[in-house]
Amino acid sequence: MTAKAMLSRAPGGPETLELSDIPMPKPGPGEVRVAVKAAGVNFPDTLMIRDLYQYRPDRPFAPGGEIAGVVDAVGPGVAMTVGTRVLALTLYGGFASHVVIPADDAIPFPDAMPFDEAAAFIFTYGTSYYGLTDRGHLSSGQTLLVLGAAGGIGASAVELGLAMGARVIGAVSSEDKAAFVRGLGAQDVLVYPAEMDRAGQKQFGSKIKALCPDGIDVVYDPVGGPYAEPALRAMAWGGRYLVVGFPAGIPEIPLNLPLLKGCDIAGVFWGAFTKKDPARFAHQVAEMFRLYRAGQIRPRVSETYPLAQAAVALNRIADRKATGKIVLTI
């Protein structure tokens, strides 16, 4: 009996992945096997296969850090029932028909949530919820600026910011993406150049300040690169700048800016948080499910691809062309 997986056998881009037969994994003590129905596609997947991520699995491995599926086998000592619908963070291995994970990592999800939305849920909303609450201390009536607001991470921050009662300004790189973010409910949307030079930075900063003369309370930045500095310059006194990711490159920040603004720059390393404070993580998952049931958040799955087309999906992410979330269906 075999399973299917998209394997990375050597460092390289998405085109290097190979659809392969692998031995059917068997759960050991404290583990469950999940028949994967859908797998979320995220930017770290594009880094991991190139050996550019902070964690490098032994090859061959399948990328894929979040899944949704059905438990189809359990190991000794596991109380979970076969047939339970679960989502999970896997770090890698999710681009496969079956994956074995610790039973404690398998999270049952609401019956009303379809598999594609479940596979697009935990990574983006988990990162944004932790960032906006624990690191950004966002509160009702404050102003939130979300860079890359049309991507999976950005869109989740827009929705959560609105659910928390903030005024949300989305920043995106095209008019199509701007329309998407307006559809999420953002009160204001800014379009910045896809390639930003110094003049573009000044123009972008001026647009932010025109919308919010008193400054931005919280900046949520999953983009980095040249977009970071103008956003930081538009901060309010005592604001919080949240560092989430760097698809546009790691920015060089003049450290006189946080001094002059009296603001904080805070890192949002959600993956580490989930391991260091599992009780707090479990509380946040329950709260996110409550918001989902209430209709205040919902993953916008804009594109789905079969497992064999994982390279196409990853290139869409790497090229920053996606709106919402991309999911592989298995």
pTM above threshold 0.85: yes
Residues of the chain with CATH 3.90.180.10: 2-121+299-329
Contact at 8 Å (CB) between 161 and 137?
A: no
Q: Which fold has domain 123-271?
A: Rossmann fold (3.40.50)
The answer, yes or no, to whether residue 150 has pLDDT greater than 80, is yes
User: What pLDDT sits at residue 34?
Assistant: 98
Question: Tell me: the pLDDT tens digits for 285-318?
Answer: 999 999 999 999 999 999 999 999 999 999 998 8
Tokens at 164, concatenated: 């928390």
Q: Which residues pair with 4 in a beta bridge?
A: 21
The answer, yes or no, to whether residue 321 has pLDDT greater than 80, is no
Q: What is the largest CA-CA distance in the chain?
A: 63
Nearest residue to 99 via CA among 54, 124, 78, 68: 68
Q: Does domain 2-121+299-329 have CATH number 3.40.50.740?
A: no
Q: Find where tokens 């700048």 sit.
A: 241
DSSP 255: T
CA distance 225 to 229: 8
Burial code (b: 16+ CB inside 10 Å, e: under 16) for 182-216 equals bebebebbbbbeeebeeebbeebbebbeebbeebb
Residues of the chain with CATH 3.40.50.720: 123-271
User: What pLDDT sits at residue 131?
Assistant: 98
Mean pLDDT of the chain, nearest integer: 94
Question: Tell me: the pLDDT tens digits for 194-223?
Answer: 778 888 899 999 999 999 999 999 999 999
Tokens at 278, concatenated: 């599992």
Q: Which residues pair with 88 in a beta bridge?
A: 67
Q: Which helix (H) or strand (E) holds 210?
A: helix 198-211
